[in-house]
Amino acid sequence: MAGLNAAPLLAALLRHALPGLAVLDAALAEGGLYPWLAGARCGAAAPAALPGPERALLRRFRQGGRPLFGFDPATDAALAAGAPEAWGGAAARLVVLGAAADPAPWLAGGTLVLARAAPEGGWARIILLAGAPAPFERLDLLLTEEERLPALLAALEAAARALGAECGTRRVSPRLATLTLLAGAVEARAALEGEALIADAAAEGRLRLLLGCLPPRPLGLRVILAPGGPLPALFLDGAPHPAEAAGEGVLEARLPPGGVRPAVLGLAGATTPRVRRVEIGP
Amino acid sequence: MTARDALTAFTPLPPARNGIADYAALLLGALTAHYDCAAACEDWLAEAPPGVAVLDPALAHRRIAPGGRVLHQLGNNPQHGFVLQALRRHPGVTTLHDPGLLHLHEAAGEGVERILAGMAGATPALAPFARHLRDHGLCTRANHLLFDLAGEVLARSRAVVVHSRFALGRLRALHGEARTGHVAVVPHPLPAAAMPERAAARARLGIAEEDVLVVTAGFATAAKRLDWVIEALERALAAGAALRWVHAGAERPEEFPLSARIAGREALRPCARVTGWLPQAALDEHIAAADALLCLRFPSFGESSGALARGLAAGTCCLVSDTGAYAELPREAVLHIPLAGAVPALAAALAALARERALARRIGAAGREFAAREMALPAVAAAYREVIEASRERPVVAPPPAGAAPLLVLEAGPALRPAEVEAALAPHAGPCRLLLAVPDLAALAALTLDRPGLVPALLPPWAALRRLRVQAPPAQPGLLLELDLPWRG
């Protein structure tokens, strides 16, 4: 599944609507919200469903020194059980799921679920139709307590308006609502640093960074490195990729439209590159 | 096939200090005539030939279409660890530069269980060596000679390329006709670029025309028999031959302390030099400048030699051991040194070459003519293409899917022998349960007291014991072993 065109818009929407929300983006390999939702913990909810080489690739990465979700059974179980410590004590939790994952266990633990093509179940649902600006993409926000739906819908609508998006809502039933939003003006720029970076220090002099499933449109990339020393060579999805120096310790490149797999940035030099920040944007 | 189908090669490349890296660069450069080539290499900044992209091996799978063309360059050193892992994921054509892969398995951290699994296909007479490894962690040089660990590569490859009929014959002898029907012989190619001219190379290296330069090349491994070279040179020097010896390559002191050995030889010390690792151009200069290039080998696993190919291309007189792949070279193209009595024969040959320089030139010229005929790079690339295309539809043997572990039952009386256990386990791979059945628990107690170390003694070394428990009535009493058995392809 390709990266979401509307991922930056949806990430901004959730950030505004649900401040303090703890997010687990478990759809990293299938077009989740990474890298647009800062602070999200990332991984794959159903790694066994991934092709072997992709699974092996994701297994290499660390976020904040920890394996990605899906590759660390003890921590995975704590997150799935909604253990407060695992979620950093956050009051509100959201998990982003891919097509192969079952939302039921998450919902049972009181976690909101955002999923593409979510199956039918006994859950309340807000269908999000987002165009940024086109084509429209559908995601379903699932929750177990239907009494929370009106407030959640109102918060989302208010956030959409605050973002300058055109939007419309409809309550189809107590358990089903829709929110349509159209925004061409959300100039989202993802900024990854610290624990938001998903990295694999492959070997001395080589570093891989996971960029997530990027939207199907060209974007700009800016890599800010610790100053000193020559700039590393840049690779995209394993192959050399043209990049330009843009000041001391800064590399800039154009990213082609995202594909169906998470983009991987590679940096290679005489010593392992020290990345301070990665920015992705228009 | 269209003109530019994609071919992905998993291989080290220069500047890795690895002869196979040089070979791969040479071959891929020639294969660009047939394919859109890319090289997946652990060093992303490696030097690939023009037109060949270097890929990160962890992401190379994204370039490989289902059933796509894949080439693996596999040698017996840790720089090929990622190639071994890649061939498990991407079946293709594998060039087995060295059919002995035990050092690779050890150095690349493949683990004892995988090594024991690779030993599983060997003759039962060799089981004690595997037991020593399993029970005591003992691995001697004999293991490297007796176990090649090539079974997995044969099973997982659509085709396998070796460089000599000797290497093919060795694989056949160890693994049988059925498992080696897809092995092809493609000779080692000559270098693409012309070798340096002899006189110019000698001038650049400061070798006077009257000096008789003897060169050995590459890693100074034990199998290159530099001990024989030292002895033979001393004899030739004592007989009055005016020889200079240069070892153009890196030392591997854990295998053979070359510099220390030379330092201990008074007569040899003033006329011997070890250069350390050399870049290709400098190595070529030494080979081209030589009056004699020594390529000795014992024991031989059928390896090929890049240095020998360069020596032949340069028209340098090459002296080789009369064994393995070297024995297949025409008698007029190189000087064969017998294994029995190698030192006196080599000493005599060197003395003769020192006396009669024209003899060395005649042999060198014949070698060059042979190599140009049989080892030209375009012909080698075409042979590879033929193997790659012919093998595309060949299925590879896949490990059995994980399923319920079968239960085998053997009566565990005092007479039960390891060979019976091994025979019972032989048809199985993967998880397996074995019940060593006894009439009752008292009999089990008596049996274990009577035969201490019963389980390790009974199990073949390649059967990994995962769990053991006593099974009591009402189930059939006995020792229930949960095993993991190797897949032999």
- Burial (0-12, 13-18, 19+ Cβ within 10 Å), B70: buried
Instruction: Report yes or no: A201 at the B interface, CB cutoff 8 Å.
Output: no
Average pLDDT of the residues in A80-103: 87
- Rounded Cα–Cα distance for residues B252 and B221 (Å): 6
Residues A222 and A172 placed together within one structural domain of the fold: no
Residues B82 and B206 placed together within one structural domain of the fold: no
Mutation test of the interface with chain B: which of A200, A237, A260, choosing the one with the most B Cβ atoms within 10 A? A237
- Rounded Cα–Cα distance for residues B297 and A171 (Å): 83
Residues A128 and A194 placed together within one structural domain of the fold: no
Model confidence pLDDT, tens digit, residues B240-299: 999 999 999 999 998 899 999 999 999 999 999 999 999 889 999 999 999 999 999 998
Query: Would the pLDDT of B166 be above 70?
Result: yes
Residues B38 and B180 placed together within one structural domain of the fold: yes
Confidence label for B462 from pLDDT (cuts 50, 70 and 90)? confident
Residues B340 and B469 placed together within one structural domain of the fold: no
- Burial (0-12, 13-18, 19+ Cβ within 10 Å), A4: buried
Q: Are B42 and A203 a contacting pair at CB < 8 A?
A: yes
User: If contacts are CB pairs under 8 Å, which of residues 25-44 in chain B contact chain A?
Assistant: 38, 40, 42, 44
Instruction: Report yes or no: B56 at the A interface, CB cutoff 8 Å.
Output: yes
**Domain presence at residue B399:** no
Question: What is the pLDDT, as a whole number, of residue A20?
Answer: 87
Q: Are A57 and B59 a contacting pair at CB < 8 A?
A: yes
Task: Please say which residue of B347, B373, B399 terminates a domain.
Answer: B373
Residues B176 and B216 placed together within one structural domain of the fold: no
Residues B218 and B318 placed together within one structural domain of the fold: yes
Q: What are phi and psi of B370, to 5 degrees?
A: -60, -45
Question: What is the pLDDT, as a whole number, of residue A185?
Answer: 54
- Rounded Cα–Cα distance for residues A197 and A39 (Å): 10
Residues A31 and A143 placed together within one structural domain of the fold: yes
CB nearest to A268's CB, from B45, B62, B89:
B45
Residues A240 and A168 placed together within one structural domain of the fold: no
Q: Are B58 and A208 a contacting pair at CB < 8 A?
A: yes
Question: What is the pLDDT, as a whole number, of residue B299?
Answer: 86
**Sign of the alpha-carbon torsion through A169, A172, A173, A179:** negative
Distance of CA A68 to CAs A33, A46, A184, A273, Å? 15, 12, 32, 21
Distance of CA A195 to CAs A14, A66, A128, A277, B196, Å? 20, 10, 29, 11, 55
- Omega before residue B299 within 30° of 0, cis: yes
Query: Would the pLDDT of B465 be above 70?
Result: yes
Closest-CA residue of chain B to A57:
B58
User: B310 CB contacts (<8 Å, ≥6 apart)?
Assistant: B190, B191, B195, B283, B284, B287
Q: Enter the DSSP assignment of A122.
A: S
User: B20 CB contacts (<8 Å, ≥6 apart)?
Assistant: B11, B12, B73, B75, B79, B80, B97
**Domain presence at residue B310:** yes
Average pLDDT of the residues in B19-33: 94
Query: Would the pLDDT of A186 be above 70?
Result: no
Q: Are B44 and A261 a contacting pair at CB < 8 A?
A: no
Q: What is the signed CA dihedral for B120, B123, B125, B128, rounded to 10 degrees?
A: -20
Confidence label for B488 from pLDDT (cuts 50, 70 and 90)? low
Query: Would the pLDDT of B489 be above 80?
Result: no
- Omega before residue A227 within 30° of 0, cis: no
Higher-confidence residue of B387 and A190: namely: B387
Query: Would the pLDDT of B2 be above 70?
Result: no
Average pLDDT of the residues in A5-18: 89
User: B374 CB contacts (<8 Å, ≥6 apart)?
Assistant: B187
Distance of CA B298 to CAs A142, B242, B324, B326, B329, Å? 70, 27, 9, 11, 16
Mean residue pLDDT across chain B: 91
- For residue B257, give its domain range: 198-373
**Domain presence at residue B87:** yes
Model confidence pLDDT, tens digit, residues A21-50: 999 999 988 888 899 887 899 999 989 889
Residues B306 and B223 placed together within one structural domain of the fold: yes
- Rounded Cα–Cα distance for residues A88 and A68 (Å): 16
- Rounded Cα–Cα distance for residues B98 and B297 (Å): 13
User: B448 CB contacts (<8 Å, ≥6 apart)?
Assistant: B454
- Rounded Cα–Cα distance for residues A140 and B72 (Å): 45
Helices (H), B206-339: 226-238, 258-263, 280-289, 306-314
Question: What is the pLDDT, as a whole number, of residue B400?
Answer: 67
Residues B244 and B324 placed together within one structural domain of the fold: yes
Q: Angle at which helices B377-390 and B19-31 pack, to 10 degrees?
A: 80
Residues A165 and A27 placed together within one structural domain of the fold: yes
Instruction: Report yes or no: B261 at the A interface, CB cutoff 8 Å.
Output: no
Residues A60 and A108 placed together within one structural domain of the fold: yes
Which residues of chain B are within 8 Å of residue A56 when distances are taken between CB atoms? 58, 89
The tokens of B16 are what?
């890795």
User: If contacts are CB pairs under 8 Å, which of residues 58-87 in chain B contact chain A?
Assistant: 58-63
**Do A253 and A234 touch, CB atoms closer than 8 A?**
yes
Model confidence pLDDT, tens digit, residues B77-126: 889 999 999 999 999 999 999 878 888 888 888 877 788 888 877 777 77
Q: Are A57 and B58 a contacting pair at CB < 8 A?
A: yes
Residues A144 and A276 placed together within one structural domain of the fold: no
Which residues of chain B are within 8 Å of residue A206 when distances are taken between CB atoms? 44
Average pLDDT of the residues in B302-317: 90
Q: With left for phi above 0 and alpha for psi between -120 and 50, is residue B439 left, alpha or beta?
A: alpha
**Domain presence at residue A2:** no
Which residues of chain A are within 8 Å of residue B44 when distances are taken between CB atoms? 206, 233, 235, 240, 266, 268
**Biggest distance spanned by C-alpha atoms of chain A:** 61
Closest Cα partner for B349 from B366, B332, B362, B337? B337
Model confidence pLDDT, tens digit, residues B47-62: 999 999 999 999 999 9
The tokens of B229 are what?
């070279």
**Domain presence at residue B123:** no
Q: Are B54 and A268 a contacting pair at CB < 8 A?
A: no
Residues B472 and B424 placed together within one structural domain of the fold: yes
Average pLDDT of the residues in B117-146: 79
**Domain presence at residue B430:** yes
Considering chain A, what percentage of its residues have pLDDT values greater than 90? 57
SS3 A112: strand
Which residues of chain A are within 8 Å of residue B58 when distances are taken between CB atoms? 56-57, 60, 200, 202, 208, 238
Instruction: Report yes or no: A203 at the B interface, CB cutoff 8 Å.
Output: yes
**Domain presence at residue B315:** yes
Residue A264, min C-alpha distance to chain B (Å): 8
Q: Are B56 and A266 a contacting pair at CB < 8 A?
A: yes
Q: Are A208 and B56 a contacting pair at CB < 8 A?
A: yes
**Do B355 and B331 touch, CB atoms closer than 8 A?**
no
- Rounded Cα–Cα distance for residues B465 and A36 (Å): 48
**Domain presence at residue B124:** no
Q: Enter the DSSP assignment of A106.
A: H
Task: Please say which residue of B330, B348, B373 terminates a domain.
Answer: B373
Which residues of chain A are within 8 Å of residue B42 when distances are taken between CB atoms? 203
Residues A144 and A255 placed together within one structural domain of the fold: no
Which residues of chain B are within 8 Å of residue A53 when distances are taken between CB atoms? 61, 89
Average pLDDT of the residues in B369-375: 92
Higher-confidence residue of B158 and B137: namely: B158
Question: What is the pLDDT, as a whole number, of residue B213?
Answer: 97
User: If contacts are CB pairs under 8 Å, which of residues 61-100 in chain A contact chain B?
Assistant: none
Instruction: Report yes or no: B6 at the A interface, CB cutoff 8 Å.
Output: no
Confidence label for B196 from pLDDT (cuts 50, 70 and 90)? very high
Residues B215 and B280 placed together within one structural domain of the fold: yes
CB nearest to A266's CB, from B44, B62, B63:
B44
Which residues of chain A are within 8 Å of residue B56 when distances are taken between CB atoms? 202, 208, 235, 238-239, 264, 266
**Domain presence at residue B134:** no
SS3 B356: coil
- Burial (0-12, 13-18, 19+ Cβ within 10 Å), B383: middle
**Sign of the alpha-carbon torsion through A34, A37, A42, A45:** negative
The tokens of A135 are what?
């084509």
Q: What is the signed CA dihedral for B90, B91, B92, B96, rounded to 10 degrees?
A: 100
- Rounded Cα–Cα distance for residues B307 and B325 (Å): 14
Question: What is the pLDDT, as a whole number, of residue B366?
Answer: 97
E-strand spans in chain A?
A: 22-25, 41-42, 62-63, 66-67, 93-97, 112-115, 124-131, 136-143, 166-173, 176-182, 190-192, 198-203, 206-212, 219-225, 233-236, 239-240, 244-245, 250-255, 263-268, 275-281
- Rounded Cα–Cα distance for residues B38 and B93 (Å): 15
Assembly ipTM: 0.89
Closest Cα partner for B342 from B223, B170, B244? B223
- Burial (0-12, 13-18, 19+ Cβ within 10 Å), B210: exposed
User: Which amino acid, A126?
Assistant: I
Angle at B199 between CA B248 and CA B217, to 5 degrees: 15
Residues A200 and A143 placed together within one structural domain of the fold: no
- Rounded Cα–Cα distance for residues B73 and B42 (Å): 13
**Do A53 and B89 touch, CB atoms closer than 8 A?**
yes
Residues B215 and B185 placed together within one structural domain of the fold: no
The tokens of B72 are what?
């693996």
- For residue A250, give its domain range: 190-281
Instruction: Report yes or no: A260 at the B interface, CB cutoff 8 Å.
Output: no
Residue B166 sits in a domain of what CATH number?
3.40.50.2000
Residues B178 and B207 placed together within one structural domain of the fold: no
Mutation test of the interface with chain A: which of B55, B56, B88, B156, choosing the one with the most A Cβ atoms within 10 A? B56
Task: Find the radius of gyration of the CA atoms of chain B.
Answer: 26
Here the contacts of A74-77 (C-beta below 8 Å, separation 24 or greater) are A76/A43
Task: Please say which residue of A159, A182, A205 terminates a domain.
Answer: A182
Instruction: Report yes or no: A48 at the B interface, CB cutoff 8 Å.
Output: no
Residues A234 and A260 placed together within one structural domain of the fold: yes
**Domain presence at residue A94:** yes
Task: Please say which residue of A148, A182, A216 terminates a domain.
Answer: A182
Instruction: Report yes or no: A239 at the B interface, CB cutoff 8 Å.
Output: yes
Task: Please say which residue of B330, B357, B390 terminates a domain.
Answer: B390
Average pLDDT of the residues in B206-230: 95
Which residues of chain B are within 8 Å of residue A52 when distances are taken between CB atoms? 89
Residue A265, min C-alpha distance to chain B (Å): 11
Instruction: Report yes or no: A202 at the B interface, CB cutoff 8 Å.
Output: yes
Confidence label for A209 from pLDDT (cuts 50, 70 and 90)? very high
**Do A160 and A181 touch, CB atoms closer than 8 A?**
yes
Mutation test of the interface with chain B: which of A50, A55, A57, choosing the one with the most B Cβ atoms within 10 A? A57
Question: What is the pLDDT, as a whole number, of residue A120?
Answer: 84
CB nearest to A237's CB, from B44, B54, B59:
B59
Question: How many domains does the structure of chain B reveal?
Answer: 3
Residues A151 and A206 placed together within one structural domain of the fold: no
**Domain presence at residue A1:** no
Model confidence pLDDT, tens digit, residues A131-169: 876 678 899 999 998 899 999 999 999 999 998 888 899
Residues B226 and B271 placed together within one structural domain of the fold: yes
Residues A42 and A92 placed together within one structural domain of the fold: yes
Query: Would the pLDDT of A1 be above 60?
Result: no
- Omega before residue B14 within 30° of 0, cis: no
SS3 A194: helix
Higher-confidence residue of A117 and A12: namely: A12
Higher-confidence residue of B21 and B149: namely: B21
Question: How many domains does the structure of chain A reveal?
Answer: 2
